[in-house]
């Protein structure tokens, strides 16, 4: 048996997702001796391997397929084509190639930053010591600082355990063929993104959602265009319904009226949320305070244990990759600063963390939503439809009920919330976040000359409308 290897390091990071690997690169850049332990999906974590990136790749392929299918069904824009076919194995291979390229990119960046990467599962015996089970035997690591970035995992329903034809988003991204009938349990963003993609690829799709509407965290005006797409494309919606067990190719559900019902399904995709990964690596031995299921952190991402930090999904909502990366950077700077290595004593206090649903059409939201300002008479809200934007019509993005909406303070016109629904609005999300972060007022957006023809003109016009003088409506 190989001798147990002992390692001492300044910074130990657990988890190589967007929070952990970014913290690792920044620690390395700041000259801190850093070890990164990756026990999960591979470098880049859930996001890169089985989440954000591969799902966007599959969504992109589904969009291409849909375009050709449209052209085959009577033509579009004067373009006709033969009926398309899909070899999902090939599509998945291409997706895996994209993921591998990015994995290798992260590995190269960590190497450049001189971060030691260890593949294996870590278990903590106390707050600063862990044992990592690797292919080459155990490595015991002690560290001055520990950054926890263990991420999250799909929630499993006890009556629908994962396995066989009951799948999570992970398996949905690597199917070898398009299911004839896919039932999605959970109408949040993950279920809808994948359900829509598989509908475009030709699967019959049904969605079972407990709430009375899809994407219940957003307001109805934002989600209506998505609901319109679903019904227009023959997706069965069972709202206010609860899923039960699955057997003999049928999913049992209880409808809104309390009636039992069975839906035929080749695959049942369960997307009822994600939970922090707190089990199986000795968190209970570290003495850190919890906030419900999450690790409790302050504005510096510090836990209740000295020099133990936590970032990303482990720390609570919003469970978004870009939040984890931003927190990872903050922690690296703080550790470097306290160690006399440059960096800054920072806090994590963003004005907004924008969120995007890559549905059909896309939804982007930053800052406050209408439900957050309901009943207040000190705010101005204005909406501008993409149907009045030249560029939207020229790229077939003006017909689905999409719009940009701004919410601002009546007193000083400061922007407090910006949302959009429509094709390609994910690309507007950063300018929304930027404006909120910089404390912009309506006049700032109205006074910026927006490029014509672009979709961003809808943001300009919504701001003009809030000031009472939109041009194109």
Could you give phi then psi for residue 115, rounded to 5 degrees?
Answer: -90, 130
Report the b/e string of 198-217 with b at 16+ CB within 10 A.
Answer: bbbbbbbbbbbbbeebbbeb
| Cα 106 off chain centre by | 19
Q: Count CB neighbours of 21 within 10 A.
A: 30
* Active-site hit among 344, 450, 452, 460: 452
DSSP calls for 145-159: EEEE---EEEPPBTT
- From 26, 28, 1, 24, select the one nearest 14 (Cα to Cα): 24
Give the other-Cβ count within 10 Å of 172's Cβ: 26
For the range 210-217, what are the long-range contacts, defined as Cβ-Cβ under 8 Å and sequence gap of 24 or more? 210/240, 210/241, 210/242, 211/187, 211/239, 211/240, 212/239, 212/240, 212/256, 213/187, 213/239, 214/187, 214/239, 215/187, 215/188, 215/189, 215/357, 215/359, 215/363, 216/187, 216/188, 217/188
Residue 286 CA to residue 119 CA, distance in Å, equals 21
The per-residue b/e assignment along 179-190, b for 16 or more CB within 10 angstroms, e otherwise, is bebbbbbbbbbb
Q: Using CB atoms within 10 A of its CB, is residue 134 exposed (0-12), middle (13-18) or buried (19+)? A: middle
Could you tell me which of 46, 36, 11, 14 has the C-alpha nearest to residue 123?
A: 14
Q: What is the DSSP letter of 400?
A: S
- Answer yes or no: 452 catalytic: yes
Q: What CA–CA distances, in Å, run from 396 to 242, 390, 391? A: 36, 10, 9
How far from each other are the two terminal CA atoms of the chain, in whole angstroms? Answer: 76
Identify the DSSP state of 315. Answer: G
**CB-based contact 157:270 (threshold 8 Å):** yes
- Distance CA(261)–CA(157), nearest Å, equals 19
**Largest Cα–Cα separation, the chain:** 78
Q: Which of 9, 54, 55 is nearest to 357 (CA)?
A: 55
**Tokens (6 digits) for 200:** 């475009």
Sheet with 166-167: strands ordered across = 166-167, 267-270, 181-185, 204-209, 236-239
Active site members:
452
């Amino acid at each position: 048996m190989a001798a147990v290897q002992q390692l001492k390091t300044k910074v130990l990071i657990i988890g190589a997702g967007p929070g952990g690997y970014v913290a690792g690169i920044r620690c390395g850049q700041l000259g801190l001796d850093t070890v990164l332990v990756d026990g999960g999906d591979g470098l880049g974590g859930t996001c890169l391997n089985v989440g954000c990136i591969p799902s966007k790749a599959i969504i992109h392929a589904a969009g291409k397929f849909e375009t050709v299918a449209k052209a085959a069904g009577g033509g579009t824009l004067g373009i006709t084509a033969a009926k398309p076919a899909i070899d999902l194995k090939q599509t998945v291979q291409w997706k895996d190639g994209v993921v591998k390229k990015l994995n290798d990119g992260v590995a190269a960046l960590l190497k450049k930053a001189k971060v030691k990467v260890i593949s294996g599962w870590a278990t903590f015996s106390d707050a600063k010591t862990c044992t990592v089970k690797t292919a080459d035997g155990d490595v015991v690591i002690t560290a001055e600082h520990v950054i926890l970035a263990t991420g999250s995992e799909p929630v499993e329903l006890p009556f629908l355990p994962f396995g066989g034809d009951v799948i999570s988003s992970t398996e949905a991204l690597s199917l070898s063929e398009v299911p004839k009938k896919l039932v999605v349990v959970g109408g949040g963003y993950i279920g809808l993104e994948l359900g829509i993609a598989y509908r475009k690829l030709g699967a019959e799709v049904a969605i079972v959602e407990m709430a009375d509407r899809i994407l219940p965290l957003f307001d109805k005006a934002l989600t209506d265009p998505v609901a319109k797409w679903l019904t227009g494309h023959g997706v069965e919606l069972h709202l206010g319904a609860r899923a039960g067990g699955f057997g003999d190719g049928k999913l049992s559900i209880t409808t809104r009226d309390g009636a039992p019902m069975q839906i035929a399904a080749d695959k049942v995709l369960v997307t009822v949320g994600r939970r922090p990964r707190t089990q199986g690596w000795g968190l209970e031995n570290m003495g850190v305070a919890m906030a419900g299921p999450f690790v409790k952190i302050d504005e510096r991402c510090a836990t209740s244990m000295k020099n133990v930090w936590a970032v990303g999904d482990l720390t609570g909502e919003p469970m978004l990759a870009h939040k984890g990366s931003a927190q990872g950077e903050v922690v690296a700077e703080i550790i470097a600063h306290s160690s006399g290595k440059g960096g800054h004593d920072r806090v994590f206090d963003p004005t907004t963390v924008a969120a995007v649903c890559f549905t059909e059409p896309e939804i982007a939201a930053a800052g406050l939503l209408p439900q957050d300002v309901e009943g207040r008479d000190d705010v101005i809200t204005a909406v501008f439809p993409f149907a009045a934007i030249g560029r939207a019509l020229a790229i077939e993005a003006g017909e689905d009920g999409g719009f940009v909406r701004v919410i601002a303070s009546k007193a000083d016109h400061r922007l407090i919330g910006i949302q959009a629904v429509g094709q390609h609005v994910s690309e507007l999300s950063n300018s929304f976040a930027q404006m909120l972060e910089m404390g912009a007022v309506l006049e700032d957006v109205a006074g910026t000359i927006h490029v014509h023809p672009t979709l961003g003109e809808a943001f300009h016009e919504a701001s003009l409308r809030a000031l009472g003088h939109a041009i194109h409506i």
